Structure 1
Amino acid sequence: MEYTTTHNGTFRDHLIFLLLSLFVKIHASHVIEALPPPRNVVLMTMNTNYTLKWGWNETTSKTEAVSFSVQYISKYKLESKKRHNWSIACDKTSSKFCDLTAYNLHYLGIYMLRVRTNDNHSHSDWVQKEFCPEKHAAVGPPSKVELAVSVNNLDVFISDPLTNSNRSMKVNLPKMYYNIVYWEHHANKRIPQPQIMNTSTNMVTLTDLKFWTLYCVRVQSRSDRPDKSSKFNLPHCIQTDGFIPWWQTVVYFLGSLVMSCTVVLLLLYILFRCYKTFKATFYPLIQLPQIFQKYPLDPLGSDIPCLLPVESEAELFCDIVTICPKPPEHHSHSSKDPSMPPFGLEPASSSTALYNHQDIRRSTDSGVYSTEGSKCQQHQLNSSQSSFEADQDPVDLDPVKIHDMSPGHDSQCENAVEGFIDLCV
């Protein structure tokens, strides 16, 4: 009986040992195969914009298909005895950040945030982080800074930082104020000691500045409760004005007056030259005769004279005339020697003399040229006749007659000297 009891106790101890060993192995294998949680969990905040970020070591995972889940809950709900549910912000996202701005977390509330890693078959432990926007959220610089100059005073206009819904941050931080830093800016010189001014208003005037000096301004948002301060905005620079001396005003006025007069006179001169050129081109002082203006071209069959074109050539018309010779001087005055030419004419080599003259009936010839040609011929004939009459004796002589060429005259001028003289103009 004692042997049976001892044997049963030993068997029970072995069974318990085996069960414990199996449990330890199963638990150890589960721990080894569990996913590592995210690390370096931080919050990036600015005014009411909140973003949760974390890191992940990809070498510790056996699979590349991992995702992350982010949840949040108010801390007072978590501490209450009632059943609570976590709100999902990002579920199985492959990104390593989660934007919480759209969930409108209350600025004065306290929240618990948690994130974990997921794969196809398992997930890691939760990594939790407490977040209070009033305490942990940073405040941004002014949304806009503008400068305006009034002689040697400088007006600074400041716009409040804005929330994600474009409202002023003074709704969440009623005691927020601004730290203004300004200084004189000199190129390639040492920057002097900046001056600091604090103001809770959105407009401030910097007085008693130097004339004609470049000033730069930077503004920072601050809050003492809670203690927060933003970064400074980019510098804004502007130059102050000053009073202009009277002599400088006079010089500027005279210079502008001289320049204006010069420009006006130059324009008037250009207009005058254009007018003179136009008038000389289209309305010249020397006008053509009225007949040429009225009849610039000679139509065919017109009796009105016109100017010949430069390239045109006058047509020549010739008629044959006969000149009876002068009788010799040793004969009597009453007798006429047909073998001698008239006075003033030299003997010709042929029995017939031709004179070419311009046909006055040609309608295309110019009146000026026709008139000059006829006058020239008449003047030569008159001068020849005058010389002939002066050299004659008082005895009455028969004049030399020019007869038209005809067959009947050949017998009367048998011994006449014939020649051709070109009288064309």
Structure 2
Amino acid sequence: MLALVRLCLLLVCLKGSAAEAELTPPHDLFMLTLNTNYTLTWDWDQSAAGSDSATFTVQYAGNHQLKKRNPKWTTVCAETSGRSCDLTRSGLNYLGLYTVRVQTNMNGSHSVWKSLQFCPDKDAAIGPPSKVQLGVSGSTLDIFITDPQNSSNGSMKEQLNKLYYEIVYWEQPKDGKGSTPMTMTTDVTMLTLSKVEPWTRYCVQIRSHDDFYNKSSTFTQPLCTQTEGVVPWWKIFLFFLLSLVSCFLVVLLFLYGSHRCFQMCKATFLPNEKLPSYIKQHEGDYPCLIVSDCELDLCDPVIVCPESAILMNNPAVDSAAPPAGLDQDRSGRHSRQNSSSSGDSGVYSAGGNSAGLQPKVASTFTDVNPLFNSEKLNMLSMNSEFKVSPVVQDEGVVDMEV
């Protein structure tokens, strides 16, 4: 009975082994790497499975685990339908040695494992600098390099402490003629190229190197810039002159704009024309204003001097003959007034001679006060209440009452 059971188990194992042998395993395993990014790729013959779809399982283990009786395999991709598996986040040590294997699964059956030995330090490729910048300082050329980055955005110098860079630079061709490329190496990320010509355009390419396993990256894309030199004095003077003229024009435009703005505001809020235009067009059709008594108080004062003072101040009157109708008494009074020895002053009565004095009063206005012009006389004549009456005073001065 025991022998029969053993025979059945043996048949089952042989049948399972035959089914696994019939399923085609993956082939052409390849590890695609860059710095610390690892991706396992493979190929598989679909024609052997017909219309059925197959899946794949990927595992890895350290080579030191393979020496144990029951090694520990870590599954990275289980039952994946693709032809690749990303091992970047699997925690592989850059200096470790690993075995990676892949198996085909279809309808509950499994193929044999296909394995690959992988050492990141030896097999992983390194990339070029992640960033390159050029700076010009006079006639020198400054180069700024950013280290290649690993999967955690750190510098690859954390894994490759002997990493350095190869720099190739050359003069950009002019008329189809270029200079011979020059090469230099450095392990720093900032350097200055002093052996360059001023006012010349140069191009630079850089790649990474590691000598332990003789690994090199590809070159970066060419980056070009032009060097500078000493600026001639005439250029400095020209720039200064242009800047001075520009500042003057800006100030002039500002002042002109401010003046125009002020004039517009003044014309808007404080116009020069006090009367509207339609009133000024008919200005001659309006009657003149009548001067009131209050406005007469604002006129200049008028002083009427006696006839004796007028005769003394007016030579033309003294030399003229006395008008007709004057009697000897008046001439005698003239002589008494002109006499300096007499202390009595003559007194004139308002009656009899008032008609003869009125013309003298009018002439006295114009002779004594020249500022009293014709325009003021017209204003006085328009006032119907204006009256002139001589008043006899003791001192011989004739006053006018208004």
- TM-score normalised over the length of structure 1: 0.59
- Inter-CA distance 98–182: structure 2 relative to 1 (3 Å threshold): same
Equivalent position of 2:47 in the other structure: 59
- Inter-CA distance 59–309: structure 2 relative to 1 (3 Å threshold): farther
Cα displacement (A) at 1:368: 6.4
Aligned-partner Cα distance in 2 for 1:118–1:55: 14
Aligned-partner Cα distance in 2 for 1:89–1:143: 29
Equivalent position of 1:72 in the other structure: 60
Q: Deviations for 1:132-151, whole angstroms, at most 9, x for unmatched residues?
A: 11111001111222222211
- Inter-CA distance 49–282: structure 2 relative to 1 (3 Å threshold): same
- Letter of the 2:270 partner, please give it: Y
1:20-419 superposed matches below 5 A: 30=18, 34-78=22-66, 80-186=67-173, 189-288=176-275, 369=285, 371=287
Cα displacement (A) at 1:280: 3.3
Cα displacement (A) at 1:245: 0.9
SS at the partner of 1:284? Answer: coil
- Inter-CA distance 28–108: structure 2 relative to 1 (3 Å threshold): closer
Cα displacement (A) at 1:171: 2.4
Aligned-partner Cα distance in 1 for 2:156–2:52: 43
SS at the partner of 1:76? Answer: coil
- Letter of the 2:146 partner, please give it: S
Asked if the contact 1:34–1:122 (Cα under 8 Å) also holds between the matched residues in 2, the reply is no
SS at the partner of 1:258? Answer: helix
- Inter-CA distance 81–194: structure 2 relative to 1 (3 Å threshold): same
Q: Deviations for 1:78-119, whole angstroms, at most 9, x for unmatched residues?
A: 1x2532132211111112111111122122221111111101
Aligned-partner Cα distance in 1 for 2:246–2:48: 82
Aligned-partner Cα distance in 2 for 1:97–1:257: 68
SS at the partner of 2:287? Answer: helix
SS at the partner of 1:77? Answer: coil
Aligned-partner Cα distance in 2 for 1:122–1:190: 67
SS at the partner of 2:94? Answer: coil
- Inter-CA distance 280–29: structure 2 relative to 1 (3 Å threshold): closer
Asked if the contact 1:215–1:239 (Cα under 8 Å) also holds between the matched residues in 2, the reply is yes
SS at the partner of 2:75? Answer: strand
Q: Deviations for 1:256-307, whole angstroms, at most 9, x for unmatched residues?
A: 212221232233223323333333343233433xxx9xxxxxxxxxxxxxx8
Aligned-partner Cα distance in 1 for 2:20–2:73: 28
SS at the partner of 2:61? Answer: strand
- Inter-CA distance 81–250: structure 2 relative to 1 (3 Å threshold): closer
When the two chains are superposed, the root-mean-square deviation of aligned CA atoms in Å is 3.0
SS at the partner of 2:160? Answer: coil
Asked if the contact 1:34–1:123 (Cα under 8 Å) also holds between the matched residues in 2, the reply is no
Identity %: 44
Aligned-partner Cα distance in 2 for 1:27–1:264: 101
- Inter-CA distance 287–130: structure 2 relative to 1 (3 Å threshold): same
- Inter-CA distance 252–89: structure 2 relative to 1 (3 Å threshold): same
Cα displacement (A) at 1:58: 2.0
- Letter of the 2:57 partner, please give it: S
- Inter-CA distance 130–32: structure 2 relative to 1 (3 Å threshold): closer
SS at the partner of 1:243? Answer: coil
Q: Deviations for 1:176-233, whole angstroms, at most 9, x for unmatched residues?
A: 1110111222466344321111011222211131112222222111011111001112
Aligned-partner Cα distance in 1 for 2:182–2:251: 52
Aligned-partner Cα distance in 1 for 2:86–2:190: 35
- Inter-CA distance 114–157: structure 2 relative to 1 (3 Å threshold): same
- Inter-CA distance 309–255: structure 2 relative to 1 (3 Å threshold): closer
- TM-score normalised over the length of structure 2: 0.62
Asked if the contact 1:116–1:125 (Cα under 8 Å) also holds between the matched residues in 2, the reply is yes
Aligned-partner Cα distance in 1 for 2:50–2:110: 13
SS at the partner of 2:115? Answer: strand
Structure 1: segments with no counterpart, 5+ residues: 1-22, 293-306, 311-365, 373-425
Aligned-partner Cα distance in 1 for 2:157–2:16: 55
Aligned-partner Cα distance in 2 for 1:370–1:143: 94
Asked if the contact 2:20–2:111 (Cα under 8 Å) also holds between the matched residues in 1, the reply is no
Cα displacement (A) at 1:35: 1.9
- Letter of the 2:287 partner, please give it: T
- Letter of the 1:61 partner, please give it: A
